[in-house]
Amino acid sequence: MSHPRASTQSQRFAQFKLVLLGESAVGKSSLVLRFVKDQFDDYRESTIGAAFLTQTIALDETTTVKFEIWDTAGQERYKSLAPMYYRNANCAVVVYDITQASSLDKAKAWVKELQRQANENIVIALAGNKLDLATGSSSKRAVETAEAEAYAKEAGLLFFETSAKTAENVKELFTAIAKKLPLDQQGPRGGRPGAGRGVDLKGGVATQQQGCNC
């Protein structure tokens, strides 16, 4: 499923597992919804009714990246996110809410957790969401851009301030991740170890699939 299939031809195609992390109500699902369906709903609560969504980005004429995007399904709310969620993730978007200072602390904790537990070469992006609430005189901003940016730089993360509501920087965020992923580099980095090796349970008598990550 999430193993890259970069062909040897001039056309390059790679697929990656992307997970979203961050405190409840910072707008994780909204970011996905904006990126995948270009929609926004002020009053949606949680869950998107699917384990994951997919979206494809064409980086240039010959390069296509497909994201398999996993949302937390709300399991993070009571600190009960199953480890299988971020296992074999190639990239992660850690989201905080720029109007809630404590949500950046939570984001930092998630970055630490990922650096400790996830794939060694995982690409992590920090996204300060709800940028639309930080405009004009009635700005509700509680986290300064410079502060978050300095932290992201220190921790080696991509950094964007986004608005799922206005779509500002959403596509840019995912495109930057796609550009940072190792499209040419094959091997364990891109795919789940063992991906595609599983038996096929569909239908009647099945045969064991060949293990081939290339």
Partner 1 sequence: MAEDLNEEYDVVVVGTGLTECILSGVFGSEGKKVLNIDANSYYGGESASLNMFDMWKKFRWTDEQRRKEEERKKEIERLENEEREAEEKRRAAAKEAGDDSYKPAPKAPRPEQVGPNPPEVFGKGARDWNQWHISLTPKFLMADGELTRILHQTGVTQYIDLLSVHGSFVVKKGVPSRVPSTRVEAVKSPLVSTMQKYYMQNFLQFIASYKEDDPSTHKKGLSLDQNTMREAYEIFGLDSWTSEFIGHAMALHAEDSYLDKPAREPIERIILYVKSMARFGNSPYIFPLYGLGELPERFSFLSAVYGGTYALNTPLQEILYDTDGKVSGVRFPHPITKVDTVVKTKKVIADPTYFLGDEKRIRKVGQLVRAICVLQHPVEGTDGAESAQIIIPASQMGRRNDIYISVLGSVFNVCPKGFFLASVSTMIENPESGNPHVELEPGFERLGLGSGHLGEKEEKFIQVVDLYEPVEDGTRDNVFISRSYDATTHFETCTDDVKDIYKRVEGRDLVIKERKDKAEE
Out of 5, 13, 55, 167, the residue judged to bind partner 1 by CB under 8 A: 55
- Of 52-60, 89-97, 122-130, 174-182, which part binds partner 1 (CB under 8 A)? 52-60
Out of 85, 96, 160, 174, the residue judged to bind partner 1 by CB under 8 A: 85
Closest CA to 148 of 140, 157, 139: 157
Out of 60, 120, 210, 212, the residue judged to bind partner 1 by CB under 8 A: 120
Out of 82, 112, 153, 172, the residue judged to bind partner 1 by CB under 8 A: 82
d(CA 18, CA 71): 9
77/153 with CB nearer partner 1: 77
What is the bridge-based pairing of β-strands 63-70 and 12-22? parallel
Name the minimum Å distance from CB 19 to partner 1. Answer: 12
Contacts of 173 (CB under 8 A, 6+ apart): 31, 35, 93, 125, 127, 158, 160, 162
Element of type H or E holding 179: helix 170-180
Q: Are 43 and 182 a contacting pair, CB within 8 Å?
A: no
- Residues contributing to the site for partner 1 (CB under 8 A): 1, 24-25, 36-37, 45-47, 49-56, 68, 72-75, 77-80, 82-85, 87, 101-102, 105, 116-117, 120, 192-199, 201-202, 205-208
